[in-house]
Each structure stands twice: as C-alpha cells, then as structure tokens.
Amino acid sequence: MDLFDSELRVIAAAEDLARTLGADANHTVAAAAMDTTGRIHTGVNVDHFTGGPCAELVMIGSAAAAGAGPLVTIAAVGDHDRGLLAPCGRCRQVILDLHPEALVAIPDKATGERSIAPIPALLPHAYRHPDAAPMRLLRFNARYREAVMNGTKTLTVRLCVINFK
C-alpha cells in the first residue's frame, strides 16, 4: 500500500529517534505522531521493573503538553533496526479513547510492507469509555479546503480505501 507523504514523515521521525536509542536498555522504542496542524510529536518508552509507559503513551503525553489537537497519524519503531512495531493492547485502547480517528502505521508480517490502519480496526469490539469525548476529525482532499472553510461545501462522503485481510 502506498503511504502519503505525511504518513512517511511520521514513520521517518520515529525511525530517526529510534536510531538514537542504542545504548540505554530502558529506552528501546520510539514513537511519533502528527497532529492536525502538521506538527510531529515524539516520545520513547520508559522500561522499568515496575512497568512503564510505552513510547506511544509518552508521545501522547508529550503532544498534550505541547498543546496538540487530535493526533492524525501514529507510528512506533524499535531500536537496533527492529523496524515498525504495532501498538500493544493497552496503547491501542488509549489511542482509541483519546484519538479515535487516528491512523496507525503497522507492519505486515507476511509481506514486510508498511501499511496504515484506523485505530478502531486494530481493536475491534473495543470497550469505549463512557466519559470519553474526543474531538472528531474530518479528512478531505486539500483541493476542497477553501470550499469547506467558506461554507460552500457542506456535504462529504466517507471513503475507506484501506484493504484489510
């Protein structure tokens, strides 16, 4: 599957950060996300015998501290060239609760290719926290931006082009 440039930028940011992690066994995964303004936020995991937050959770906290809006695309990469990593179950639930419109970069173990999936697809039949009130995103082609902004375009049709097997 061909990824958009913005998705590739998020993956590249996580890969760049992961390359810096080599020596410290407490930090082995890097995560990156793009918010709705195009800013990229990063974080690394904190491994500890008492448990610790995954890189995705640290990145979500870092984005919140920076005043980010909804996260659009998320990727995590392992150190020592382990490549793209799918989020664990806890991270999937947190992403779903806080950023339910996010797309997550995942590896395809069979082909070795990278793809993108909406977070609900990674956690089907998930528990939805009753008090969660995340902001919703509307994705549309950039050519419609002016018409959406000035109110002349008020309708859209959702199109899912992601193929899951």
**Backbone torsions φ then ψ of 17, nearest 5 degrees:** -65, -40
Are 60 and 43 within 8 A, CB to CB? yes
- CA–CA separation, 129 and 126 (whole Å): 9
User: Any catalytic annotation for residue 56?
Assistant: yes
Annotated catalytic residue, options 7, 15, 56, 113: 56
Helices (H), the chain: 5-18, 55-65, 89-98, 119-122, 145-150
Q: What angle do CA 25, 56, 136 make, to 5 degrees?
A: 175
| Residues annotated catalytic, as ranges | 56
